[in-house]
Amino acid sequence: MNKKIKYLLAGVIAMFSSYCAQDNGQNEINITQLKESIKNDSSLVILDVRTQQELEGPLGKIDGIINIPLQELKNRINELEKYKNKNIAVICRSGKRSAKAKSILLEKGYKVKNVVGGMMQFRAE
């Protein structure tokens, strides 16, 4: 294996290890926990990272959400500045895009949790 590939692989492994160590599932909540937080935490911010079309689709949306599609999040993150000291739950259709959004927000110092299962699970329960 040539030297460049070895360094690249070492960097990827280090980044992946760092990511896993940062999270450990601590920055995730399930649908039951989300619904409980909605009832008990009036300052909870729910960020839905789906597109506007998805919000109007069959899964609908949760009342009072903030909508910033994942593909726009990096450019629009300043819109969330006033919520930096609040708990933010990030949701999407299944939990994959919201996991990416969670990582972006964690890097910027937000208190954020990914909603595992997303709106599919929210509607199912």
Please give the structure tokens belonging to residue 64.
Answer: 């009072």
The pLDDT of residue 125 is 79
Q: What is the pLDDT, as a whole number, of residue 10?
A: 42
pTM: 0.80
Instruction: Give me the pLDDT at residue 21, please.
Output: 36
Q: Which pLDDT score, from 0 to 100, does residue 11 have?
A: 41
Walk me through the domains of the chain, giving residue ranges and CATH numbers.
25-124 (3.40.250.10)
**Interacting residues of 75 by C-beta distance below 8 A, sequence separation 6+:** none
Residue with tokens 């199912």, as numbered in its chain: 124
Q: Which residues are catalytic?
A: 92
Residues of the chain with pLDDT under 50: 5-22
Rounded CA-CA distance 11/100 in Å is 20
